[in-house]
A and B are shown apart, each in its own frame.
Chain A
Amino acid sequence: MERDGHKNKTRSPQLERFLEGWSIFVQNPLGKIGLTLLVCFGLMAACSFIPPLLDPMYDPMTGVDPLITRSVGPSSAHWLGTDFMGRDILSQLLAGARVAFMVGVSAAVMSILLGCAIGMFAGYMGRVVDTLLMRTADMIMVMPTLLVVLILSSLFGQLNIWTIVLIIALFRWPGVSRVIRAQTLSLKQRPFIEAAKVAGASHMRIIFMHIMPNVLPLAFLYMTFRVTSAIIIEAALAFLGFGDPGTVSWGMMLQWVWKTGHMFRAPYWLLPPGLCISLITLSFYMLGRAMDEVLDPRLRKEAEAE
């Protein structure tokens, strides 16, 4: 696939291939369900701006209903009820969708770019650079990310949401870099790289101008699984009480339910955030599996044979 992608600079065959992949993708039940769920969450994130505009008491973080001082169940003013301070649960839930996308996608993009760069360097440079980078990758791969972030926050105090995203990205690149390294090793043997060398291109130029365009699409295939793990880690961290105190995430909402002892009393508060985390994880996971099936013809044939 990459081979054609490099030689063929015209647009139409690529578009055609994309459309073909897309049609297989939407025929796949996993892909369909996953995509539908994701669109719903996307709408939730988009709607998160509306409630605070209607009334300041719907602000997910600072808005408090003046008439309510404890957690109450669903009502016409608060469709999903309020938390222990009288804040609206629905608007928190919507804001949580925005945060989940932000954390998941940015951590995933960062870890993929990092993994891609490291994989290309390791594969292209070979020898010592390769060994060193890959041993580091092995080491990071076996570390439980959540506990690493925990020990870091014990050293550096409360971490803000972007630091958390950055740390997650720093610990999720090894998987991508291995695949990209393997791909780079085979690309390195191709005539066009040889030609570029003869033409006097520098190593940097070869890596970024000639190798990168060929491996980047492959790297982004790994995106969905990175998104899932980033969302879960952020949620778990917030649940344990080490999240960014200035951000309303679903994990944070669960932490409030748990820490204020409402879990047996307020199912309207306990159920929605956990359900959202689980479903968004499920939808990205399904999307990833569906994509695997589209791109791995072996799996596809198996599905067609049914």
Chain B
Amino acid sequence: MEPRRFIFRRLIQIFVIFFVILTVLFLLFRLAPGDPISRMIDPDMTTEDAERLREQLGLDEPLWVQYVYYVRNFFTGEFGTSFHYGQPVVKIIWDRLPNTVLLFTSSIILSAFVGVFLGKIASWHKGGKIDSVLTIGALVTHTVFLPWLALILIWVFAYKLAWFPITGMVSEEVWLDPEAGIVAKALDVFHHMALPLCTLFLIHFGAYLLIMRSSMLETLKEDYILTARAKGLEERVIRNRHAAPNAALPVVTSIGLSLAFSINGGALTETVFTWPGIGRELVFSVSHNDYPLAQASFLLIAIVVLLSNLVVDVLYAYLDPRIRY
């Protein structure tokens, strides 16, 4: 099958899955104890606004009509108004999305590259001291409880040593200063991002290291490695040019498989560091009974998860020419 058709088919699949999630959420919403109206309507709203919203959601209509309204509202981007912020949910989500994408993608890329690099080294020194230090280090950092790690990093590097800001994403004095250029602003964001990035990196790189190590050991047994040795190539060349690129393929697969795990971690990290992203918004809205915001954040995260899986599949097929869709 040609790539375009494969992607098209997967997109249809994703659309169906997403529709199922949307429907399940709708049904749960109606099943939940209590009045659905009070869940969607802000207690502080005027009666007129509340009436308008009732109409928009079709809350007085039969269930199936409500469902049609619900789906229509979703596709027209009508998620209602956040109780807490008093702003349209879409606007809040749209503001937070780039922050999450920035933190999330940079942490995945960084940990995958470092994991692959260190895994390669560990496999090369198999059974030696370097190998055991790296393997044990990977196991420990991979299983450490993420929020706790984040709190400890904050305690040591932001509180005791005061190298980094404790929370947030920007400092007001830089961003409100008319003199400050784009570079100063970017540096400020990176300064705030260092600790959250470090937390996510520490949690993730271990898994990639372990996968790379065992995959590398498997690859080194292949016939073409023997051929390369027989040709008299340097060990370094065999390792870096012949074995490593093939051995790194399972790492790509595992990025896709561990995506759910990474997203949980991302939400926890954002919450502890009060990084203004989607994950933190979801946690925050759930604890403040802000249902419209919670629902929209959750659905957005679901879309991101489904699409990222597609990206990983396509990337895999691109990297491994043996894979035909």
A interface list, Cβ under 8 A from B: 138-139, 141-147, 150-157, 228, 232-233, 235-236, 239-242, 254, 257-258, 263-264, 267, 270, 273-275, 277-278, 281-282, 285-286, 302, 306
Contact = CB atoms under 8 A, between A and B. Distances in A.
B285 to A, nearest CB: 7
Contact of B145 (A146, A235, A306): A235
Contact of A146 (B140, B143, B144, B264): B264
Contact of B267 (A147, A157, A275, A282): A147
Interface residues of B, number: 51
Interface of B: 17, 20-21, 25, 28-29, 32-33, 39, 127, 139-140, 142-149, 151-152, 154-155, 159, 217, 259-261, 263-264, 267-268, 271-272, 279, 282-283, 285-287, 289, 291, 294-295, 298, 301-302, 305-306, 309
Contact of A240 (B39, B283, B285): B283
25 contacts: A141-B260, A142-B259, A146-B267, A147-B279, A147-B298, A147-B301, A150-B282, A150-B283, A150-B286, A151-B294, A151-B298, A155-B28, A240-B268, A240-B271, A241-B287, A254-B145, A257-B151, A258-B151, A273-B148, A274-B149, A274-B151, A281-B143, A281-B144, A282-B143, A285-B142
A154 B151 contact: no
B181 to A, nearest CB: 34
Given A144-B305, A156-B33, A254 B147 contact: yes
Contacts of A263: 151, 154-155
A145 B28 CA distance: 16
B286 A153 contact: yes
Contacts of A242: 286-287
Given A145-B260, A241-B287, A285-B139, A151 B295 contact: yes
Contact of A142 (B155, B272, B305): B305
A274 B271 contact: no
Contacts of A277: 145, 148
B254 to A, nearest CB: 13
Nearest to A241: B287
Given A142-B260, A154-B286, 13 more contacts: A139-B17, A143-B305, A145-B264, A150-B294, A236-B146, A236-B147, A240-B287, A254-B145, A263-B151, A270-B152, A274-B145, A274-B151, A285-B143
A150 B152 CA distance: 25
A154 B17 contact: no
State the main secondary structure of chain A at its contact with B: helix
B145 A278 contact: yes
7 smallest beta-carbon distances between A and B, as pairs:
A274-B148, A146-B264, A154-B286, A277-B145, A155-B32, A282-B143, A281-B143
B305 A306 contact: no
A30 B279 CA distance: 35
Nearest to A279: B143
Contacts of B264: 144-147, 233, 236
Nearest to B267: A147
Given A142-B306, A236-B146, A274-B152, A306 B28 contact: no
Contacts of A138: 17
A154 B143 contact: no
B260 A143 contact: yes
Contacts of B272: 258
A145 B301 CA distance: 12
Given A264-B155, A277-B148, A278-B144, A144 B261 contact: yes
A146 B268 CA distance: 10
Contact of B282 (A143, A147, A278, A281): A147
Contacts of B33: 156-157
